[in-house]
Amino acid sequence: MNSFQLKYHKCRVLIAAFIGVPLIGALTMLTILFCLPIDTPIWTITVLILSFLSLMILTLRWVIKTQIFVTCDVNIDKSGIRFIIKNDSLFYTKRNLFFTWKSITSIEEKFNNQNGDYYYAVRFNEPSFSANFSMKEQHEEEAEAFFKQLRYFQDNQYQEIHHLSKPFKIGRKNILATS
């Protein structure tokens, strides 16, 4: 069994936070502003608006850094992949998940334009969702080793399921041929 420390997140949860936190903040701000007396000075309204905007930005950053991108231990072996979320999170109720290799439909390495690093998207079919794993700070080699192990186990499982003795490749005339 190989164990790795990575960061885990789900894109749907990230999108919900990008929409939900500003929406809740804006509704709260508007409710307070509408409750103010008509003769409230402009500077007070401006200070309240700027304070709420700052609070929304800080809250969104906190939610993303501590509640969406969570540290997890990932264990890979012949039977499948298990990831255990270390800390409590508002968005992830299940903290210990296990999937067999048969339930993994795809594994992709993707580039994150915002941070300039890579993350690994693993798509499952039972239940249907996509888990994203990224490296923890200063753990790039561990993330690369994780991806290599993940590919190795998935490729071996695929060959066992389909009883392939040799990998297939595309020949010159677009006809499948064994090497």
- Written as one string, the DSSP assignment of 123-149 is EEETTEEEEEEEEPTT-HHHHHHHHHH
pLDDT in tens, 64-85: 989 998 988 888 888 888 889 9
* Residues sharing a CB contact under 8 Å with residue 106, sequence separation 6 or more, in sequence order: 121, 122, 123
| pTM of this prediction exceeds 0.95 | no
What is the rounded CA–CA span in Å between residue 64 and residue 69? 6
Q: In the numeric block, which tokens belong to residue 65?
A: 């850094």
Q: What is the arithmetic mean of pLDDT over 151-170?
A: 57
pLDDT in tens, 87-100: 888 888 888 888 88
pLDDT given for residue 1 in this prediction: 65
**C-beta neighbour count of 155 within 10 angstroms:** 13
pLDDT in tens, 89-138: 888 888 888 888 888 888 888 877 766 777 888 888 877 888 888 887 77
Give me the count of residues in the chain. Answer: 179
